[in-house]
């Protein structure tokens, strides 16, 4: 789910860089010492996981995992994803250099959306399966929000892409389901073993 060079128009590319700078400035404020290694490791996980292909029937998909990054890092997910996207573009030509801004906003906003959904779990105490359900929803949200932004970016380039943009949303449904399962499983596993790793746990304690 990376947009390549040469598709988007200059204003959209500029908006991407502007949005990235703004989001980075907001999400990196007051980052503590102990958060930097966490962000780096999740950034590395995101970087690698995007390159792994899972064959499914005749086709294959790759993980995006921005939902998982959101669930673990909260708003610090944005700098982690930004770093991952920049390195993917520079080292692998994944996306492209001019599109870094748009790709950062697309994948980073997915992570922030996932975190937002993840935080909603405090309002719906569903018992044992709470983390699994909201982890799953967060995983799906990560893909869905990014898919929406992808579609919007493609829409902006003109009519010939309208069909593509609609198709883009439909094509991400398998990824959405798989991410939901994986992130849900991760969240419920972490809740049992290392609940301190998940984002927003402190808030939960305060509310109790």
Partner 1 sequence: MKKIYFFAAILFISLIFIPNTYAHKVQMFAYPEGDNVFVEGYFADGKKPKKSEVMVYDSGGKVVFRGLTDDEGKLSFKIPQKTDLRVTLNAGMGHKTEYTLPASELSSAESKGGDKMVAIDQGASSEKGRDSQISQLDEAQIQAIVEKAVERAVGEAIKPLVRSFTEMTQKNSLTTIIGGIGYIFGLMGIALYFKSRKGSQS
Q: Identify which of 17, 25, 72 has the alpha carbon closest to the alpha carbon of residue 44.
A: 72
The answer to whether 127 contacts partner 1 (rule: CB under 8 A) is no
The two tokens of residue 33 are 């010492």
> Which of 12-20, 36-44, 112-120, 127-135 is the region at the interface with partner 1 (rule: CB under 8 A)?
36-44
Q: Which of 1, 23, 69, 176 binds partner 1 (CB under 8 A)?
A: 1
The answer to whether 130 contacts partner 1 (rule: CB under 8 A) is no
Residue 187 burial class via C-beta count within 10 angstroms: exposed 0-12, middle 13-18, buried 19 and up: buried
**Closer Cβ to partner 1, 51 or 120, answer by number:** 51
The answer to whether 185 contacts partner 1 (rule: CB under 8 A) is no
Q: Identify which of 38, 17, 179 has the alpha carbon closest to the alpha carbon of residue 106.
A: 17
The answer to whether 154 contacts partner 1 (rule: CB under 8 A) is yes
Residue 195 burial class via C-beta count within 10 angstroms: exposed 0-12, middle 13-18, buried 19 and up: exposed
**Closer Cβ to partner 1, 87 or 185, answer by number:** 87
Among residue numbers 73 through 112, which ones bind partner 1 (CB under 8 A)?
83-84, 87-88, 91-94
Angstrom CA distances, 31 to 73, 98, 105, 165, stand at 11, 28, 20, 36
The two tokens of residue 204 are 């939960």
How many whole angstroms separate alpha carbon 80 and alpha carbon 40? 6
> Which of 16-24, 51-59, 117-125, 132-140 is the region at the interface with partner 1 (rule: CB under 8 A)?
51-59
C-beta atoms surrounding 160 within 10 Å = 8
Q: Identify which of 124, 158, 147 has the alpha carbon closest to the alpha carbon of residue 7.
A: 158
**Closer Cβ to partner 1, 9 or 40, answer by number:** 40
**Closer Cβ to partner 1, 120 or 166, answer by number:** 166
We find the least distance from the C-beta atom of residue 186 to partner 1, in angstroms, to be 9
Among residue numbers 155 through 174, which ones bind partner 1 (CB under 8 A)?
164, 167-168, 171
The answer to whether 206 contacts partner 1 (rule: CB under 8 A) is no
Residues that bind partner 1 (CB under 8 A): 1-7, 33-34, 36-45, 47-49, 51-53, 55, 59-60, 62, 83-84, 87-88, 91-94, 150, 153-154, 164, 167-168, 171, 194, 196-197
């Amino acid at each position: 789910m990376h947009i390549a060079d040469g598709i988007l128009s200059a204003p959209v590319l500029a908006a991407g860089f502007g949005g990235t700078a703004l989001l980075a400035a907001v999400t990196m404020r007051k980052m503590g010492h102990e958060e930097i290694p966490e962000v780096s490791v999740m950034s590395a996980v995101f970087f690698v996981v995007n390159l792994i292909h899972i064959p499914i029937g005749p086709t294959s998909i790759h993980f995006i995992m921005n939902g998982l990054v959101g669930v673990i890092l909260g708003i610090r997910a944005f700098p982690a994803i930004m770093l991952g996207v920049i390195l993917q573009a520079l080292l692998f030509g994944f996306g492209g250099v001019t599109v870094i801004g748009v790709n950062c906003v697309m994948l980073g906003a997915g992570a922030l959306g996932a975190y937002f959904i993840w935080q909603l779990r405090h309002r719906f105490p569903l018992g044992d399966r709470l983390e699994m359900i909201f982890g799953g929803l967060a995983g799906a949200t990560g893909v869905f929000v990014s898919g929406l932004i992808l579609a919007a970016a493609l829409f902006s380039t003109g009519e010939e892409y309208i069909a593509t943009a609609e198709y883009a949303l439909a094509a991400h449904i398998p990824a959405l389901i798989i991410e939901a399962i994986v992130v849900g499983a991760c969240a419920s596993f972490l809740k049992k073993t290392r609940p301190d790793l998940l984002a927003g746990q402190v808030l939960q304690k305060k509310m109790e």
